C-alpha cells in the first residue's frame, strides 16, 4: 500500500474519554475526524441519519477510528460493507486501537488506493454479486479533510446509487409462449444459424456483438448489461463459451442476477473448458455435439449437460438447378472440402517447448491409425515422456492435446484421401494440400460456406468426408449439409451416425480407409442407387436434422429447467 496524501495525524482523547483523531489536511487546516466531545455518540447519530435499506453493498468513505463502522455493522447485519480509507497511517492507527481487528471479519477494506482503482474494485465486487443495490455512507469530516481524494469517488458512487441497476436487471422470465433470446455474437460459426432458427420458431432475438481482438471482459460485460436492461432476454446463448472470460466474471454476474445461459459446444470441450472452469455456474446449461463428452463436462463442474448434434440450414443447403457456368466451374465425380491441417498443426507445434515435439507424433500416429481417444493414445508414452509432460503448465498441456488432435487428424485424413488418387478427386481447401499430395488430384481454393459450397455439393457425384478426431462418436457438418442438398455422401463410420440416419439406405459409410476405392467405383457406376440414397437422406434431414429442430430442443430444455 502507498500513501498518496501528505499529512500529520494525532490520536487524542475526547472529553468523554474515547479516543479521536486530529489531522492536518493538504490545505493546511487542522481538522478533527471524530467529535472532540463524544465520538461514540456522534457515530450513533450519524448512523441513525443514514438512509440505506440494508441490502446490497454499503460503501463507507473514511475509516477514522471506526466508531461509525461499528454502528453500521450493528444496524445493517445483512449488508456487505466496504470501507475506503485514503491514508494507510489512519488504517494502521485503527488497527493499533483494536478497531480494525474487531471489524475485519465483516468488512472489506480498500486502503491508500488511487480513486480510479477504488471504483474498479467496487465495480468488480458488484459484478460478481450481480449488481446489488449500492449505498454510500460519507464520513463528512474525513471527506472534507481529503476532498481531492474522496470527491471523485463520492461523485461516481452517488450517481450509481441513483440508477438502481439492481431492479432493472431482475425480471420474470419464461412467462410468454414466445421467448426473447440474446446471442453472444463474436463472429463465430453457428451464430447466424442459431439466430435464423430462433426467428423461424417465432422467438425474438438480439445479438450482443463484439470483437475479441479489441475488447476485454469489462467491455463485453458492459454490452451484456445493456442488452439485459434494454431487451430483457429469457436467456443467453453462446457457442463454445466464446466471449466469456477465464476468470468467470461474466458467468458469475449472470448467475447472480439469475439469467440462464445455454452454451453449445461444437469443438472439444475438454480443451476449451479447461481454460474456463470458473464458468461452471449453476445457471449454465451445456450442450455438446458429441455424447461422449457429457461426463467430461460434468466432471468440470457443470450440472446440466445435454447431447445436441450438429444440423444444417436447409434453406442454404438445398437442391439446385445449376447453370452451365456453375456446372463447368464445380462439377466433379469425387470431391472433398476441407483443411489439410498442415498449417494449423504447425501453429500449435510452435507453441510447444521443443522436448514435447517428438511426443506429439508419438501419440498422434497410433491415435490416427486406431481412431483412439486422446487419453487412450497417451498410454503409448513411457515414464520419461510423462515426466516431461507433467512438468508443463496446464496451458502447455492443453496446447499439447490440441497439437496431437490436429496432427492425428492430419494423418488420418491424409490416409483416407490417398485412397482417392485414382479418381482425379477435386479438393477445395488450403495450400497445404499441394505440399502433401502429388498427382491424381485437382487442388483448388477453399469455397465460401454459404454461397459456393452448396453449389459444389450439388455438382459433385460423390462428396467425400473424413471426420476430425476430436469427434469421438459424433458426425461433422458435411454429414448434414451434403444430403440437405439432395447430394450423395460417402463418410467414415461414426457411432452417432447410426441413430441419425439409416446406414446403407440414407448414407454410405466406410469403416476402414481401404474400403474407399471400391465404394467410390460402385457408386460412380450406379447413378440410380446413388440418387435414391441422396433423396432418402434429404427427407431425413428435413424431418429431423435442421437447426430449427436443434434450437427447439434448446428452448425445451431451458424452459423445463427455468420456467
- Domain containing 187 — which CATH number? 3.40.50.2300
Is the residue at 172 inside a domain? no
Is the residue at 120 inside a domain? yes
141, 87: one domain:
yes
Contact 405, 361 (CB under 8 A): no
* Domain C-terminal end among 120, 138, 167: 167
Which of 461, 481, 469, 473 is CA-nearest to residue 420? Answer: 461
467, 348: one domain:
yes
Helix, strand or coil, per DSSP, at residue 420: helix
Contact 266, 244 (CB under 8 A): no
Is the residue at 479 inside a domain? yes
Burial 112-131 (b: 16+ CB within 10 A, else e): bbebeebbeebbbbbbbbbb
CA distance 436 to 303: 44
Is the residue at 386 inside a domain? yes
262, 335: one domain:
no
108, 236: one domain:
no
Is the residue at 316 inside a domain? no
499, 514: one domain:
yes
Beta strands in 372-474 (DSSP E): 425-429, 441-445, 460-465
Give the model's pLDDT for residue 163.
58
In order along its 563 residues, the chain shows pLDDT tens digits of 344 555 688 888 989 988 898 888 776 778 889 989 998 999 998 999 888 888 889 999 999 999 999 899 989 999 999 999 999 999 988 887 766 665 667 789 999 999 999 998 998 888 778 778 889 999 989 998 898 999 999 988 887 775 566 677 778 999 999 999 999 998 888 999 999 999 999 999 999 998 888 888 878 888 998 899 899 999 999 999 999 988 888 888 888 888 999 999 999 888 776 666 778 999 999 999 999 999 999 998 999 999 999 999 999 999 999 999 999 999 999 999 999 999 989 999 999 999 999 999 999 999 999 888 888 999 999 999 999 999 998 889 989 999 999 999 999 999 999 999 999 999 999 999 999 998 889 999 999 999 999 999 999 999 999 999 999 999 999 999 999 999 999 999 999 999 999 999 999 999 999 999 999 999 999 999 999 999 999 999 999 999 999 999 999 999 999 99
Return the ∠ at Cα 126 (arms to 120 and 130), rounded to 5°. 145
Contact 141, 133 (CB under 8 A): no
**In the beta sheet, which residues pair with residue 209?**
185
CATH of the domain at 61: 3.40.50
Burial 143-153 (b: 16+ CB within 10 A, else e): bbbbeebbeeb
Return the ∠ at Cα 365 (arms to 363 and 370), rounded to 5°. 100
334, 374: one domain:
yes
Measured CA to CA in angstroms, residue 324 lies from 321, 330, 455 at distances of 10, 10, 12
* C-alpha 361, offset from chain centre: 30
Structural domain of 372:
324-546
For residue 319, report the phi and psi dihedrals to the nearest 5 degrees: -60, 140
CATH of the domain at 421: 3.40.50.2000
Is the residue at 128 inside a domain? yes
DSSP per-residue string spanning 271-328? HHGGGGGGG--TTEEEEESSGGGHHHHHHTT-SEEEE----B-TTTS------HHHHH
Which of 429, 470, 426, 464 is CA-nearest to residue 446? Answer: 429
Dihedral over alpha carbons 294, 298, 302, 305 (to 10 degrees): 30
Contact 485, 318 (CB under 8 A): yes
Give the model's pLDDT for residue 1.
38
184, 124: one domain:
no
Count of Cβ atoms closer than 10 Å to residue 495 Cβ = 13
* Domain C-terminal end among 113, 144, 167: 167
Number of structural domains the chain divides into: 3
Which of 317, 314, 277 is CA-nearest to residue 298? Answer: 277
Is the residue at 174 inside a domain? no
284, 354: one domain:
no
Rg (CA), the chain: 32
CA distance 192 to 88: 53
249, 217: one domain:
yes
Is the residue at 492 inside a domain? yes
Give the model's pLDDT for residue 166.
64
155, 251: one domain:
no
C-alpha grid cell for residue 512?
476402414
248, 139: one domain:
no
CA distance 211 to 209: 7
Beta strands in 55-190 (DSSP E): 57-61, 80-85, 107-111, 134-138, 180-185
Measured CA to CA in angstroms, residue 249 lies from 107, 219, 245 at distances of 22, 12, 7
Give the model's pLDDT for residue 5.
54
500, 446: one domain:
yes
* Domain C-terminal end among 111, 132, 167: 167
Give the model's pLDDT for residue 213.
87
pTM: 0.79
Amino acid at each position: 500500500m502507498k500513501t498518496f496524501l501528505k499529512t500529520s495525524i494525532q490520536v487524542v482523547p475526547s472529553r468523554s474519554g474515547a479516543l479521536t483523531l486530529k489531522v492536518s489536511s493538504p490545505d493546511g487546516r487542522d481538522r478533527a475526524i471524530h467529535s472532540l466531545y463524544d465520538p461514540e455518540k456522534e457515530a450513533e447519530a450519524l448512523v441513525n441519519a443514514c438512509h440505506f435499506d440494508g441490502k446490497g453493498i454499503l460503501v463507507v468513505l473514511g475509516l477514522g477510528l471506526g466508531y461509525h463502522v461499528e454502528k453500521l455493522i450493528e444496524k445493517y447485519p445483512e449488508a456487505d460493507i466496504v470501507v475506503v480509507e485514503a491514508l494507510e497511517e489512519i488504517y494502521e492507527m485503527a488497527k493499533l486501537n483494536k478497531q480494525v481487528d474487531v471489524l475485519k471479519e465483516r468488512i472489506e477494506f480498500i486502503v491508500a488506493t488511487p480513486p480510479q482503482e477504488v471504483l474498479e474494485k467496487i465495480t468488480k465486487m458488484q459484478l460478481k454479486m450481480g449488481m446489488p443495490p449500492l449505498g454510500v455512507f460519507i464520513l463528512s469530516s474525513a471527506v472534507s479533510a481529503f476532498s481531492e481524494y474522496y470527491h471523485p469517488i463520492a461523485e461516481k458512487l452517488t450517481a450509481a446509487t441513483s440508477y438502481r441497476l439492481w431492479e432493472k436487471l431482475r425480471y420474470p422470465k419464461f412467462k410468454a409462449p414466445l421467448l426473447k433470446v440474446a446471442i453472444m455474437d463474436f463472429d463465430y460459426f453457428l451464430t447466424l444459424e442459431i439466430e435464423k432458427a430462433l426467428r423461424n420458431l417465432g422467438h425474438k432475438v438480439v445479438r450482443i456483438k463484439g470483437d475479441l481482438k479489441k475488447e476485454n471482459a469489462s467491455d463485453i460485460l458492459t454490452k451484456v448489461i445493456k442488452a439485459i436492461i434494454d431487451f430483457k432476454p429469457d436467456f443467453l446463448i453462446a457457442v463454445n463459451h466464446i466471449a466469456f472470460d477465464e476468470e468467470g466474471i461474466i458467468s458469475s454476474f449472470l448467475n447472480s442476477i439469475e439469467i440462464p445461459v445455454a452454451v453449445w459446444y461444437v469443438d472439444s470441450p475438454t480443451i476449451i473448458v479447461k481454460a474456463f472452469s470458473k464458468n461452471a455456474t449453476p445457471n449454465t446449461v451445456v450442450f455438446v455435439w458429441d455424447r461422449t463428452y457429457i461426463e467430461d463436462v460434468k466432471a468440470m463442474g457443470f450440472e446440466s449437460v445435454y447431447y445436441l448434434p450438429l444440423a444444417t440450414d436447409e434453406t442454404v443447403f438445398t437442391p439446385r438447378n445449376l447453370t452451365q457456368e456453375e456446372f463447368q466451374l464445380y462439377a466433379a465425380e469425387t470431391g472433398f472440402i476441407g483443411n489439410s491441417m498442415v498449417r494449423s498443426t504447425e501453429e500449435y507445434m510452435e507453441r510447444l517447448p521443443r522436448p514435447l515435439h517428438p511426443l506429439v507424433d508419438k501419440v498422434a500416429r497410433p491415435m490416427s491409425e486406431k481412431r483412439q481417444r486422446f487419453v487412450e493414445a497417451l498410454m503409448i508414452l513411457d515414464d520419461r515422456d510423462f515426466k516431461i509432460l507433467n512438468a508443463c503448465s496446464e496451458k502447455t498441456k492443453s496446447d499439447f492435446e490440441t497439437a496431437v488432435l490436429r496432427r492425428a487428424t492430419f494423418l488420418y485424413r491424409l490416409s483416407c484421401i490417398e485412397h482417392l488418387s485414382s479418381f482425379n478427386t477435386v479438393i477445395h481447401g488450403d495450400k497445404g494440400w499441394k505440399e502433401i499430395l502429388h498427382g491424381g488430384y485437382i487442388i483448388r481454393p477453399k469455397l465460401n460456406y454459404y454461397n459456393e459450397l452448396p453449389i459444389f455439393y450439388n455438382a459433385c457425384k460423390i462428396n467425400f468426408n473424413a471426420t476430425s478426431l476430436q469427434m469421438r462418436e459424433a458426425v461433422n457438418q458435411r454429414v448434414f449439409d451434403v444430403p440437405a442438398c439432395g447430394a450423395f455422401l460417402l463418410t467414415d463410420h461414426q457411432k452417432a451416425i447410426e441413430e441419425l440416419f439409416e446406414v446403407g439406405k440414407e448414407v454410405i459409410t466406410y469403416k476402414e480407409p481401404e474400403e474407399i476405392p471400391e465404394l467410390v467405383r460402385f457408386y460412380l457406376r450406379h447413378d440410380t442407387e446413388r440418387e435414391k440414397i441422396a433423396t432418402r437422406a434429404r427427407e431425413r434431414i428435413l424431418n429431423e436434422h435442421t437447426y430449427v429442430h436443434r434450437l427447439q430442443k434448446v428452448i425445451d430444455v431451458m424452459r423445463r429447467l427455468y420456467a
